[in-house]
Amino acid sequence: MPLAEAKGLLETVSRSQSSSGGWGRPQEAPRVVPTEGSLRSTPATHPLLIRHQPADDIQALRELAVRCQRFSPVVGIEEPDSLLLDLTGCAHLFGGERKLSRQVQRCFEQRGFFIKTAIADSIGAAWAVAHFGRHQTEIVPAGQHESVLRPLPVKALRLTETVIETLAALDIRRIEQLLALPRASLPSRFGPEVIRRLDQASGEVSELITPIRPPEPVVAGREFEHPTGDHRALEVALQQLVEQIVGNLVQRQQGIQRLTVELKGALSECFAINFLRPCQSLSHIMELVLTQLERVVLTEKVAGLRVQAVATALLESRQTQLFAADDDPVAQRELEQLVDRMSNRLGKQRVVQSQLCPDPQPEFANRWEPLLDENERGNGGSVSPPVLPCSARPLCLQREPQAVEVTSRVPAGPPTYFHWKQTCYTVARYWGPERIETGWHRGRHVRRDYYQVETECGLRFWLFWRIGRADWFLHGEFD
């Protein structure tokens, strides 16, 4: 399973407060995967389906590699799912290889990943044991990797599918069977790949780890000769710093996704600006910076400024558009800038998109997702909710059901009169009840009988009777 998908799935599971039932064994070989337990729990909790983006997987793997530099200065990746750490001279700093391995495990578990680790003399052996070993943590003693590799399947040598199929056709399924063949005949039978991979696994051919380096931070700063509280002076200085940062990013063909501005002084103030798409537009960036600056109340004079592009991304991603691809690009860009402007001023939780969920309980049938936080959005791949008649749900739903006084001719029957906002309404017609009931496993047990009622003057409301509690609530208005 791709990393981005796994991460999204795990987030969904944790969001829906599902009890995942503990960590199970992985399904197959991948080194960074969600657990079987979490996968099993998803059908009951409406999984978020995310389109597979291989580039996102690699990016996520690279980010993990950067985080692993606390364990080793040389950390590389092996696509699609492995991290390679050169532990030469590192293990004693952590109390030995076993303790180091345990710390790595704990580090990933805290981030919600299930991993398998292996320490061996060569990259090939470590990769093979990590993918096909029986234990979650394997440490191959020095010089013994050949005996450990022998019973493993030939897939553990990182061979291509074609070679594996050829070997399978000849009923060569384990490495020991391959080693039993005359070494000189291997290249002519299966090509040069097999002998290279065998040598890499045994350590006879050296293999280099290409280290992943964290991107250099794009920072610009300025110290004032005399502290100032003049907004105009700050604006001019900020403009110069942002120009400097944008100029730096233009060379890298990158745009800003998140920018932080620090106003240094006795009481340092800091604010952040987020962008829907990687942005290089100086005017748009400055507009957002100045909007945030206006909202800062300066209690002390500012001694210096520091602007940092915390998150950047390649500008190619600008081609992905917020809405339909056939929209006018100018209008599209203006719309994206509007989202940036509103999200940064009002807060990203206040500029949202609806995600419908197939949940019978009305409160959970709609989920608001911030537009600015694309990682939290479903990318249009959500499970479709059931199709209801248009008049089945009210246009206005109360945040919490409001208790109302209702008079019924029959106990627990349809309402005849009710009081709402200091007005007594007479029910002229009603439709229902519609029984909505949820399972005990969701926490609070919900059992409601909903009535759509029309008053004498034609207003329509959505009332429900809480079964077992004998009380009525108004939940919405059919405006």
Partner 1 sequence: MSGPKNHNPNKHSAAIEQLAQQLRRYERTLQPTAGGNGVLSTGIAALDGLLPDGGISRGMLLEWLSEKTGGGAGTLAFTVAVQLMRADGACVVIDPAASFYPPAIGKLGDDLQRMIVVHPANGGDALWALEQSLRCRGVAVVVCRLGQAFERELHHHAYRRLQLAAETGGAIGLLLRPARYRVHPTWADVRLLVEPLPTVNSSKGRQLQVELIHCRGRNCGGIVTLEIDDETGDVRLASGLATATNPVRRAAGA
Residues that bind partner 1 (CB under 8 A): 322-324, 327-328, 330-339, 341-342, 345-347, 349-354, 356, 362, 365-366, 368, 371, 380, 385, 387-391, 393-399, 428-429, 431, 454-461, 476-479
Query: Which of 25, 399 has the CB closer to partner 1?
Result: 399
**Phi/psi at 34 (nearest 5 deg)?**
-75, 155
Smallest separation (angstroms) from partner 1 to the CB of 283: 15
Q: Give dist(CA 59, CA 268) in Å, integer.
A: 33
**Under 8 Å between Cβ of 191 and 163:** yes
Give the number of other Cβ atoms within 10 Å of residue 420's Cβ. Answer: 17
3-state secondary structure of 454: strand
Q: Give dist(CA 470, CA 479) in Å, integer.
A: 27
Query: Which of 106, 421 has the CB closer to partner 1?
Result: 421
**Phi/psi at 10 (nearest 5 deg)?**
-65, -40
Query: Which of 295, 409 has the CB closer to partner 1?
Result: 295
Beta strands in 184-324 (DSSP E): 218-228, 254-264, 269-279, 302-314
What are 201's two structure tokens? Answer: 């696994």
Smallest separation (angstroms) from partner 1 to the CB of 374: 13
Residue type, 408: S
Using the Cα atoms of residue 244, residue 248, residue 251 and residue 253 in order, give the sign of their dihedral.
negative
Smallest separation (angstroms) from partner 1 to the CB of 196: 49
Query: Which of 258, 341 has the CB closer to partner 1?
Result: 341
Query: Which of 88, 384 has the CB closer to partner 1?
Result: 384
What are 237's two structure tokens? Answer: 């200085």
Q: Give dist(CA 311, CA 314) in Å, integer.
A: 11
Q: Give dist(CA 76, CA 64) in Å, integer.
A: 10
DSSP 8-state secondary structure symbol assigned to residue 372: S
Smallest separation (angstroms) from partner 1 to the CB of 414: 15
Helix (H) / strand (E) containing 315: none
Residue type, 174: R
Query: Which of 132, 461 has the CB closer to partner 1?
Result: 461
Smallest separation (angstroms) from partner 1 to the CB of 350: 5
**Phi/psi at 451 (nearest 5 deg)?**
-125, 135
Query: Which of 346, 403 has the CB closer to partner 1?
Result: 346
Query: Which of 340, 449 has the CB closer to partner 1?
Result: 340
Smallest separation (angstroms) from partner 1 to the CB of 19: 27
Which residues have CB under 8 Å from 177's CB, separation 6+? 154, 171
Q: Give dist(CA 222, CA 237) in Å, integer.
A: 8
Smallest separation (angstroms) from partner 1 to the CB of 2: 23
Smallest separation (angstroms) from partner 1 to the CB of 194: 50
Query: Which of 150, 393 has the CB closer to partner 1?
Result: 393
What are 206's two structure tokens? Answer: 């050296």
Smallest separation (angstroms) from partner 1 to the CB of 451: 13
Q: Give dist(CA 334, CA 37) in Å, integer.
A: 44
Query: Which of 129, 273 has the CB closer to partner 1?
Result: 273
Beta strands in 209-249 (DSSP E): 218-228
Smallest separation (angstroms) from partner 1 to the CB of 391: 5
